[in-house]
Structure 1
Amino acid sequence: MAGIVMCEPREMYNILNQSNKFSRLAEPNYLCLLDCRTKREYNESHVVSAKFVDKPAIQCAQVLQEVSRLPIRILMGGYERFTALYHFFRTQKVLWLPREIDEFQPYPLEILAAGLYLGDVRQANDPNIQKDLKIKAQVNVTEEPGKLFPPGACHVFQIPVPDSCDVDIFTFFPDLCKFIDAHMSPTFSVLVFSSLGISRSATMVIAYLIYWQKKTLKEAWNHVLKCKSNIRPNRGFVKQLSLWEEQIHGTAITDISDPNY
């Protein structure tokens, strides 16, 4: 029996936005999202991909936990709290064609609540995403300049490095942290992005968490991995993150010989 756990809205947001080449919502066995409100409320609006069930949430969870190998999550605060934070995931659409699900465009992953996001080039160049997430600053970890909508709308810190084990990315960490500190606020957020949002940008986000929250490399890595399940900084970047951990904490704490890194 898998058990029942409570799910914060940010966790739900990140579950909805997992992607490889395409949104993971296009995978038929990835997520079964059930809406246990009244039929009238469901028809008025619901979260993208949710299906209506005429049964209280706890009863649904109790039934599902008997057959699921994974924990059943109950959303804390329900639909109202989730959509108050992420209104752009509301829809009235009930039936989705496979092509429509394939074309669903995920949003950047939320690393720190309404403050720091991890994404890719497409998301960085999407004006709707910039507006919805109140992004006012970007860390561009690619060799190409990004497109801003409108031009000059964002503050940009460019780190023009390739995704190579031989690249010195360590020297950018102090200025990266200063830039994020200067632009992340209760009303505005920062997007860190690279081509795929897997290696370079993930490295930068991990480095910031080590600095800002004084996390160990292992703790910061696990936090980002929980938000985005397919991060994979290259081996050279991992070694430099270990050096950064040593600089921040005064000693190397995380054993990067572990094959998980």
Structure 2
Amino acid sequence: MTETVLCEPSELYNILNQYMRFSRLTETNYLCLIDIREEHEYNDGHIITARNVKWSSQGKHVMPFGVEIESMRYIVVYDSVTCSLQKTGPVTECADSLAKASRYPVKILAGGYEKFAALYPFLRTMKSVYTIRELESLKPYPVEILPKQLYMGDYKQATNPNMLRDLKLSALVNVSEESVLTFEKGNCAVLDIRVADSVKADLYTCFEQVCSFTDSHLRSGRAVLIFSRHGISRCSTLTMAFLIHHLKYSLKAAWEHVQDCKTNMRPNRGFVQQLSDWETHVLGSRITDTAEPSY
């Protein structure tokens, strides 16, 4: 038996937007998202890929067909507004029951459907059944590093005007080698950092400029997207450099935070060394041992 924990809306947003070649929602053992509201509420609108739980005459929940709790990496349960684990009710009872069979903590969505839908209305749907092909065609959004402020993604996401609009992005940091002049960027301010994804490439000399640009926009209440070609190495390096600068995170803390947001992020070895040097510059000492296998 595992525990039940609260899941902030931004955490679920990032879980929904993980991808390798395709959205990870295509994986049958990746996410079990359970909506325990009344059927008519579910039919009026729910979070994308959520399944509506049924209730027996004895007041027990009946899981949707084909859900294997034991193999699920993420299990998230939500009602309309629950925001605490202290109050007992259908959502906590359902989560506690699922935790008995799960290998991982079962998450209860803080604020429920109403809060999530208010923050991410573009991830609402009335569709209840998806084919594999439909799941493969889903276009994941950039992950959220700082809620409603800082995002990290790839070139395709940055060149999608619908995503720029949905996330209310006002500034872009382009650390791919592709030109931003070839796509519609609306009213976004753009900082171009043309650096190759190579262990010999120098991103360190760009850290100050990127941090200053990002900081100025966040202080003005504008959301920023940092992106690279594949959204894995260069953009994660700049994102961690900003967290070290802005929040005074150690490299270890910045690494763990970004990895929690995007599980397949991976700066190349040269960039890891540059981040270690940046940690020393910003914090006054080298705190993180980058010789550890996780780096």
TM-score higher than 0.5: yes
Displacement, 1:184? 2.1
Displacement, 1:150? 5.2
Q: Which runs of 5+ in 1 are unaligned?
A: none
Given candidates 141, 149, 152, the residue that maps to 1:118 is: 152
Q: 1:221 to 1:63 in 2, by over 3 A?
A: same
Q: TM-score, normalised by structure 2?
A: 0.86
Displacement, 1:96? 1.0
Match of 2:2, SS state, is: coil
Displacement, 1:97? 1.3
Given candidates 270, 274, 281, the residue that maps to 1:247 is: 281
Matched, 1:136 2:170: yes
Q: 1:204 to 1:92 in 2, by over 3 A?
A: same
Matched, 1:218 2:252: yes
**Partners in 2 of 1:79 and 1:243 — Cα distance?**
43
Native 8 Å contact 1:115 1:185 kept in 2? no
**Partners in 2 of 1:170 and 1:150 — Cα distance?**
26
Displacement, 1:233? 0.3
Matched, 1:181 2:221: no
**Partners in 2 of 1:150 and 1:205 — Cα distance?**
20
**Partners in 1 of 2:242 and 2:185 — Cα distance?**
27
**Partners in 1 of 2:164 and 2:197 — Cα distance?**
25
CA-to-partner distance for each residue in 1:51-89, whole Å, 9 max, x for gaps? 001342212211211111011000011000011100001
**Partners in 2 of 1:148 and 1:156 — Cα distance?**
12
Q: 1:185 to 1:88 in 2, by over 3 A?
A: farther
Aligned to 2:291: 257
Aligned to 2:202: 168
**Partners in 2 of 1:126 and 1:24 — Cα distance?**
20
Matched, 1:236 2:270: yes
Aligned to 2:188: 154
Displacement, 1:186? 6.6
Work out the percentage of aligned pairs sharing the same amino acid: 50
Q: Which runs of 5+ in 2 are unaligned?
A: 55-60, 62-89
Matched, 1:68 2:70: no
**Partners in 1 of 2:185 and 2:95 — Cα distance?**
45
Aligned to 1:41: 41
Say how many residue pairs are matched.
260
Native 8 Å contact 2:159 2:185 kept in 1? no
Displacement, 1:109? 0.3
Aligned to 2:82: none
**Partners in 2 of 1:253 and 1:187 — Cα distance?**
31
